[in-house]
Structure 1
């Protein structure tokens, strides 16, 4: 039976990439598989002991938080209908840190959001996805991050950390979309979609006369025992309110090479009229932003060591950032992982050069997944 649910799951791709295995092997628990119909469930749970030295404010803070990937449960279905395979996924992402901390009011106000809720139609032509999923722009930049299952740079007080978001890539914000993905053409895959546009202008006469356009091309090859992955992705949209027009563009790119336990990766982006943290509603200018991320990792036995460094230079936010992470990952077994990380993060006012954030973070975590 054809089962493309794992290939369609953003979380599954991310987790498989992070642990260096093929996305053709699923950790999901299959609950039903009969007469061409299957249904499965997958889950991801984590918690980190986090100790942060905020040098800017001379404060040391200790928290129990989740990592860069929130806790998640996902449901997948697939059904063969003649020459087509119909499928779908819904996933629910939750923080274990209530609201924005004890000061937010309701002590048990845990946030839950739906980042994936879509159906798919697969056939010899490829795949069409309809619904809500991660965007294509910056998609591989984040999903192929070597510290994806770690902690990374500081984030919001009550939410996830930011990993390398704003320090090497932006977040491929989940959006309503209609996306086409080609079949695998000897390692080459092409995806293109129309997405619900972000409201990048404000006023009484906001107008988005066209959707947001995003695409990604990926290529995988094995050359003399060196596994290579390369990608290019992009986005474009235009919005106006009668007095102002904002054209938003972005290009992301990267390459990753692995051989005998050693992995080297480099990625980057350049954008205009785009928030380099996440794509969302809110007025922006057509100022520029760019960034890069370089990483190396070495796997030996059940262990993996990672060194990561990223920067973002954002004229649009008047911000310059840099983030350095040293990480150690240990697989207790295929469903249980331990993580130790040390991150050094700094951001500065681009105009004055004044340091606005300087923090060193120690994160010790455990991950259970199925």
Structure 2
């Protein structure tokens, strides 16, 4: 398998970051590798027993749901063509809950979040197609509870992890992205992405695409592993005399020494939805948030403490989320998870609490 290709897939990066394992251990199942051509498959399956106490309505609910990452199957190919390596990935993400929540007894929605081709060479890599965005990318992929449950989400979908309580979601989008070769620990990615329609009316205009970028840096000094990143987004939309300029900056730092990992990240934005970018009218009001985490590994176990906040003038809410997580590796392909999350969301203008939930989540994850 061409590891240069596979290591750049969003799900694969997420797995490696969350589990702290090598790429070779959990990349995929290789089905074919001859004459410079390879094809592989990877999969991720999970289910959680969820018991939630809703303190606003004074009700308790028990469910069997997915975790923060949906159930996924992905297909990867790579072919060497002279000085170039052509690759591609298609991944399909599915909910295990939408049949009952949508009122259709056997219906299941399939969400295609990655469907792209890549061209690799001495110049770096060009990605063509649909993939996760660059803004807030490392914020979410390096989240210590990525493979857990986190804060409440939609009724028929995944939980929200720390989305809208520490970082926005790097929504998968149509894009053309360039990644430069690694240099002294630095990696640079810049891309043009399909813009969101942030104004309304019959004369909406997006004269330029959405621009996103990310710079990451990784090094190791005296047994201390250090990872840092900065990412950003910019786009402008017009409708007559109305112009909405959307900007966002994300950043973070993760430090690991032996079994202890400390991480802090944050974002600040203007005219940009702090949950996920979408086709909806917005103002140029502000939003910002942060996430701080500590993780300690011992043997096959990992303990995580996570706390995040988002203050969104643009959507008029304030949130905070606290998570205690325990992860146990039965083996490299099977993981058990226990989590306790406390999440609160208020209207920042009135102070009225719209969500106050305490959630216990017990889950199992199988991957290949």
TM-score range, shorter chain: over 0.9
Alignment RMSD: 1.0
- Contact kept in structure 2, 1:341 and 1:363, CA below 8 Å: yes
Q: State the alpha-carbon separation in 2 of the partners of residues 308 and 134 from structure 1.
A: 23
The secondary structure found in structure 2 opposite 1:316 is coil
Q: How far apart in 2 are the matches of 1:25 and 1:245?
A: 49
Residue pairs, 1:274-313, within 5 angstroms: 274-313=272-311
Q: 2:191 touches 2:211 (CA, 8 Å); kept in 1?
A: yes
CA distance in 2, matches of 1:196, 1:98: 28
Shift, 1:55, TM fit: 0.3
Q: Which residue of 2 aligns with 1:151?
A: 149
In structure 1, list runs of 5 or more residues that go unmatched: none
C-alpha contact (below 8 Å) 1:17/1:23 kept by paired residues: no
Q: Which residue of 1 aligns with 2:97?
A: 97
Q: Which residue of 1 aligns with 2:19?
A: 19
* Distance across 1 between alignment mates of 2:60 and 2:339: 17
**Match status 1:58 vs 2:40:** no
Distance in 1 (CA, whole Å) between partners of 2:3 and 2:83 is 13
2:25–2:332 Cα contact (<8 Å) kept: no
SS at match of 2:241: coil
- By how many angstroms is 1:25 displaced? 4.8
Deviation digits for residues 212-240 of structure 1 (CA, Å, limit 9, x no counterpart): 00000000000110000000000000001
Q: Deviations over 1:181-218 (max 9, x none)?
A: 01111210000000000111110001000000000000
Q: Which moved more, 1:359-368 or 1:12-21?
A: 12-21
Is the 1:67–1:149 contact (alpha carbons within 8 Å) kept by the matching residues of 2? yes
Matched with 2:35 is: 35
User: What TM-score comes out, normalization by structure 1 length?
Assistant: 0.98
Partner of 1:137: 135
Given that 2:191 and 2:212 are in contact with CA atoms closer than 8 Å, whether structure 1 keeps it comes out as yes
Q: 229, 234, 250: which one pairs with 1:231?
A: 229
Whether the 8 Å contact between 2:219 and 2:227 is mirrored in structure 1 is yes
CA offsets per residue over residues 109-146 of structure 1, 9 Å max, x none? 21111000000000111100000000000000000000
Task: Report the alpha carbon displacement of residue 259 of structure 1 after superposing the two structures with TM.
Answer: 1.0
Q: Distance in 1 between matches of 2:26 and 2:117?
A: 19
Structure-1 separation of matches of 2:224 and 2:23: 18
Do the aligned residues in 2 keep the contact of 1:98 with 1:107 (CA within 8 Å)?
Answer: no
- Aligned position for 1:343: 341
Secondary structure at the counterpart of residue 205 of structure 1? coil
Distance in 1, matches of 2:173 and 2:27, equals: 26
Q: Show the counterpart of 1:188.
A: 186
Distance 1:126 1:177, change over 3 A: same
1:273-310 Cα offsets, whole Å, 9 max, x none, are: 01100011111110000000000000000000000000
Distance in 2 between residues matched to 1:55 and 1:3, nearest whole Å: 47
Aligned with 2:208: secondary structure?
Answer: coil
Residue 243 in structure 1 maps to residue 241 in structure 2: yes
Aligned equivalent of 1:168: 166
- Name structure 2 gaps, 5 residues minimum: none
| C-alpha distance in 2 between matches for 1:329 and 1:2 | 30
State the SS of the aligned residue for 2:119.
Answer: strand
Taking the aligned partners of 1:142 and 1:106, their CA distance within structure 2 comes to: 32
Which SS does the other structure have where 2:12 is aligned? Answer: helix
